[in-house]
Chain A
């Protein structure tokens, strides 16, 4: 494995560069996945059948808390990658851990939100609108959940092996994933919640 020390650690081997390109292509596929969900959401938005409408069930407080938590976590993973690039492993691990904690907190609030929907009678089986709402939010939430476990595994690996071309590569790719989820949340926040409450 040839290591090119003129590049950042995460780009330092050919396989690393290929991995990063491959992940960008994967994110392209993810964009299509969420685009399909959003399109379906817009189709079903007003098709509420016997169920409630968005304006009747959305609550601003948990949504704002979730937004702040996830946006902050996106900032801290950025700091983690910056720390990684200046070789400060401890600082990196710190920011990495904060990111994961914020992610877990986000999920906690989202679960609370889902329970709220259940109590006001908006479940998957209520109407096409509530179905697509929960499917879209759920897909995003499942991505965050997956990311949490993935992040924990990478955290452990950095702790054990230190910053190597491999762990740096994994961390960088994880940060791409995490930023992507943040961007998707901004769309969810704007086009599902804000639009629905207007």
Chain B
């Protein structure tokens, strides 16, 4: 029994027990359902072992949506707790755990996964490729992310959640102040999914550099591909910093080192520095692909070429460079001298310049355009003013001396939600709706989609604008309650109402998926939005080989110019197509990583050694195994193409 005591939750509550039961029931239901409908083989052969970038992308997006609801539940719990003063719905410890997991889940396991999911699905199609450069590694990336996400999510029922904030500052995160295994979970979950992300980064750079369709020079790539390229470059240079920081944190907590300690040579600020050297580029990893999505959507629904293509690319490059030079602005108040703060203040404000250029480019793309207010376009149009407000408050926060007033207040919370939600979340929803017909062959209902949009936009404004005011009035963030006398009560209630509206909005999106699956027509052709880039030149849903014939490109708006100027995209005859085989080792290896992480969290050294050796064994197996892929014969391609009503030529 002693062995099992370590798995107990240190701070249980009825809600956690209820969650345990719910998790158990869901697992049983999934197993029973798969067995009853005899879907195990289908699941394994078609999805779990797939190396198809489209299916991996869809699995990323499904996981991201699951995490959105987990993180969203955390968010609603926080707003509920602070809706009225002196509330007792959550105690201080639970509140700490909830805001910590909300942050980590939303950023690492929701937003990142959503972005990489969309990249997976869209990038190879937009550059006219068959798949990514390393399809097996791509599967491994997904499964490592998934293993990390699951490891993080079981923390609150096995052993206790991390409770030191998503920034996990030391010495708060040290074993002195965070006594449960929660922060161990944090370290290993982020480490494992971080490896997956790094592999994705390498994979996409190689894909974009080497696998573009003939004629597609770098400056003819769709803007989303550009944003993906730059984002992945940031990933490759930022994530190793996190790897080391997490390793040092793990050593401190589990092997007794003094890196972030306050004695024996340790320096707690070292964590803050390393974390934000990764963490600030990380927020650009989130926002740049969102910019890419908006660029596609705004050009499509304004029926105009994207305005200022070159300046769009240049501004993203500048943003990516500056993103590594601003990290200190996250802790202006933590003891640097005025000179240091001034330098980082200026670099931070400088980011507003390339970002502003992008905003004006989108506005000028719409200028004199034939704007169609579809649901994705509504999100994009709402994004521009809302994101600008978030950007302007960002410049306020960048003023180091004034930051002493805003630091650690709800003003900051309002600011970063104001850039992340209209920036990233709107883009992901808009992108999902926009590319939905490519993924599944039918469109989401526009009327229900617009209802969801209004709930989400209004809910967002109600939830976060009041925080600007309470923040300036001095309401500290991460406080589980406040007294009546502070006067924060009415605005906090308003904020809760906003959160509830947001929740309704997301529920409507789920209903829309169900409704459209039942009712939407399937014969929508390959280009239902009258779009501009290559992915719309193949069928809906996309066949596994993407394009029967590799397209040839002469302009940056390849499909649009094919439609309007008569450029010919497909010139060659159908030939046999080389495709990667399915493989089971990525999911097996990720499972072993899960065991490794879990064992390490709980100091179960036998588990660590066995799973560690097994991981190395998997790599050895991969080294010796030869797998040259397979060919799809011409007849099979023609058959598939006929089913879709003939090849696009």
Q: Taking beta carbons and an 8 Å cutoff, which residues of A are in contact with B?
A: 1, 14, 17-18, 21-22, 25-26, 28-30, 32-33, 36-37, 40, 43-44, 47-51, 124-129, 131-132, 135, 149-150, 153-154, 156-157, 166, 170
Contact A29 B236 (CB under 8 A): yes
CB distance from A181 to the nearest CB of B (A): 16
Contact B244 A49 (CB under 8 A): no
Q: Which residues from chain B contact A1 at a C-beta distance below 8 Å?
A: 578, 628
Contact A33 B258 (CB under 8 A): no
Q: Which residues from chain A contact B578 at a C-beta distance below 8 Å?
A: 1
Contact A36 B274 (CB under 8 A): yes
Say yes or no: A153-B202 contact (C-beta < 8 A), given A22-B133, A49-B258, A128-B258: no
In the complex, whether B241 has a CB less than 8 A from a CB of chain A is yes
Cβ contacts B68-95/A at 8 Å (1 or 0 each) = 0000000000000000000000000000
In the complex, whether B239 has a CB less than 8 A from a CB of chain A is yes
Say yes or no: A124-B265 contact (C-beta < 8 A), given A18-B210, A21-B210: no
Q: Which residues from chain A contact B642 at a C-beta distance below 8 Å?
A: none
Contact A132 B259 (CB under 8 A): yes
Say yes or no: A30-B240 contact (C-beta < 8 A), given A25-B206, A124-B257: yes
Question: B237 contacts which of A21, A28, A135 (Cβ < 8 Å)?
Answer: A28
Contact A128 B257 (CB under 8 A): yes
Q: Which residues from chain B contact A135 at a C-beta distance below 8 Å?
A: 247-248, 251, 257
Say yes or no: A150-B267 contact (C-beta < 8 A), given A124-B255, A125-B256: no
Contact B265 A40 (CB under 8 A): no
Contact B133 A129 (CB under 8 A): no
Contact B267 A29 (CB under 8 A): no
Contact B620 A153 (CB under 8 A): yes
A44 and B251 alpha carbons, distance in the complex (Å): 15
23 pairs of residues in contact across A and B, judged by CB atoms under 8 Å: A18-B211, A21-B210, A22-B133, A25-B236, A26-B202, A28-B236, A29-B201, A32-B240, A36-B241, A36-B243, A36-B277, A40-B274, A43-B270, A51-B265, A124-B255, A125-B256, A125-B258, A126-B264, A127-B265, A128-B266, A129-B265, A131-B259, A150-B623
A22 and B201 alpha carbons, distance in the complex (Å): 10
Question: A128 contacts which of B241, B247, B265 (Cβ < 8 Å)?
Answer: B265
Q: Taking beta carbons and an 8 Å cutoff, which residues of B are in contact with A?
A: 133-134, 198, 201-203, 205-206, 209-211, 236-241, 243-245, 247-248, 251, 255-259, 261, 263-267, 270, 274, 277, 578, 616, 620, 623-624, 626, 628
Contact A125 B206 (CB under 8 A): no
Question: B240 contacts which of A17, A36, A156 (Cβ < 8 Å)?
Answer: A36
Q: Which residues from chain A contact B247 at a C-beta distance below 8 Å?
A: 135
Q: Which residues from chain A contact B237 at a C-beta distance below 8 Å?
A: 28-29, 32
Contact B241 A32 (CB under 8 A): yes
- The residue on A at minimum CB distance from B205 is A25
A77 and B399 alpha carbons, distance in the complex (Å): 54
Top 9 A-B pairs, shortest CB-CB distance = A128-B265, A49-B264, A47-B265, A49-B265, A33-B240, A32-B240, A131-B257, A36-B244, A22-B206
A153 and B623 alpha carbons, distance in the complex (Å): 7
Question: B270 contacts which of A32, A40, A149, A170 (Cβ < 8 Å)?
Answer: A40
- The residue on A at minimum CB distance from B210 is A18
Question: A127 contacts which of B203, B264, B274 (Cβ < 8 Å)?
Answer: B264
Question: B626 contacts which of A14, A51, A166 (Cβ < 8 Å)?
Answer: A166
Q: Which residues from chain A contact B628 at a C-beta distance below 8 Å?
A: 1
Contact B133 A18 (CB under 8 A): yes
- The residue on A at minimum CB distance from B209 is A21
Contact B251 A124 (CB under 8 A): yes
**Most A CB atoms within 10 A — which of B239, B244, B624?**
B244
